Amino acid sequence: MASYNPKNFFILAVDDNSINRILLDKLLKKEGYKTKILSRSEEVLFSLEEFKPDLILLDLMMPNIDGLELCEKIKQNPHYQEIPIIFITASDEKQDLLKAFDLGAVDYITKPFHNQELLARVKNHLELKFTRDELKKALVELEKLAKTDELTGISNRRHFTSLAEREFNLAKRQKRFFSLLILDIDYFKKINDTYGHPVGDYVIKSVAQECIQCLRKEDLCARWGGEEFIIFLSESNLEEALIVANRIRSHIENKVIIYESFKINLTVSIGVCVYHDDDKSIVQTISRVDTALYKAKNTGRNKVVSIDS
């Protein structure tokens, strides 16, 4: 996880007192923060999109739009809800402070503020936000890794099975249809034995990209294992699935894969099947398309075979 650095944070401050604005700007910049200091609360909402602050220092008592009203407007926007707001106030009115917390403020500082106290509170809430943001990034990355094949960058088997099962259940309930393709790189072991495993990995990645380029956005291609790929074609009948399968087969056959000084020609065998409404589970549909693939491999390779009539 990256370390906390004030230079990476932008603070937006709002105060109608010119002396306070000068003090805040000087204090925060000396610490290393990037700042924008505003004099009017009306400017804040327009400035949020431009500056995308990491924290807001907000004067509680201001003319026209007071701090409480402004805080409420900020927190109503989902894009800005996570920005910590610290109120700066000369008021000892507890009701105002309780209202500020109810509206989403994280802290308050009383005027005249002590420099080190203000910096400590700013740092504390920015560190909390920083840690929270880093954890969110880590969770997103972990989720991506859990769904993605490390070598090719496309979906992995587990993610495909999960989505295909969901689509299978939708097809059952809503009388929808779909097709499956499984393709296998012909004589892949010979490629590994002849050129080495780094070349074999490059070939697998190249085939994955060829498949993706032949599909629509709503389709899903995953690495099924080794040199096998599986493809889910949404709302596609057998005729449409065969067109896609033959397009993939033809593209790969006509592509020369260049790796350093090697020029490699490939072919693939592809099995095709369509969902049957009497299929008991997605496993049964996958088993049927797997049978079609083995027929393609056992009857000459470099061909598309459907198990359905």
The reported pLDDT for the residue numbered 272 is 97
Q: Examine the domain organization and report whether 199 and 235 are in the same domain.
A: yes
Q: How far is CA 35 from CA 46, 47, 111, 240, 277, in A?
A: 15, 12, 20, 58, 62
HSE-up (13 A, CA, CB side) for residue 144: 9
As for how many domains the chain has, the answer is 2
Which of 85, 118, 145 finishes a domain?
A: 145
pTM of the full predicted structure?
0.64
- Let me know if residue 161 belongs to a domain: yes
Mark whether 111 and 164 lie in a shared domain: no
The CATH number of whichever domain residue 231 belongs to comes to 3.30.70.270
- Give the list of residues 6+ apart from residue 155 with CB closer than 8 angstroms, or none: 147, 148, 149, 163, 220, 221, 222, 223
| Final residue before a domain boundary, out of 112, 145, 178 | 145
Same domain, 224 and 267: yes
In a domain, 128, yes or no: yes
Asked if 22 and 51 sit in the same domain, the reply is yes
Same domain for 176 and 135: no
In a domain, 150, yes or no: no
Within a domain: 33: yes
Q: Is pLDDT of 56 > 90? A: yes
Domain range for 183 = 157-306
The tokens for 46 are 């327009």
What confidence tens digit (pLDDT) does each residue in 179-220 have? 999 999 999 999 999 999 999 999 999 999 999 999 999 999
Mean pLDDT of the chain: 91
Q: Is residue 79 domain-shared with residue 112, that is, in the same domain?
A: yes
**Has residue 118 got a pLDDT over 90?**
yes
Does residue 1 surpass a pLDDT of 60?
A: no
CATH number for the domain that contains residue 34: 3.40.50.2300
175 and 36 part of one domain: no
Q: Are 213 and 249 in a shared domain? A: yes
Is pLDDT of 64 > 70?
A: yes
Residues 161 and 298 in one domain: yes
pLDDT in tens, 240-285: 999 999 999 999 999 999 999 999 999 999 999 999 989 999 999 9
State the pLDDT confidence band at 112, using cuts at 50, 70 and 90.
Answer: confident
Residue 98 located in a structural domain: yes
Task: Retrieve residue 101's tokens.
Answer: 């917390």
| Of 61 and 1, more confident | 61
**Both 37 and 177 in a single domain?**
no
The residues annotated as belonging to the active site are 227
Using the Cα atoms of residue 48, residue 53, residue 56 and residue 57 in order, give the sign of their dihedral. Answer: negative
CA distance 54 to 155: 34
Is residue 1 one of the residues assigned to a domain? Answer: no
Same domain, yes or no: 122 and 221: no
Q: Is there a single domain that holds both residue 141 and residue 177? A: no
Q: Which of residues 88, 119, 145 is at a domain's end?
A: 145
Query: Phi-psi region for residue 136, left (φ > 0), alpha (ψ -120 to 50) or beta?
Result: alpha
Give the span between the Cα atoms of 205 and 270, in whole angstroms: 17
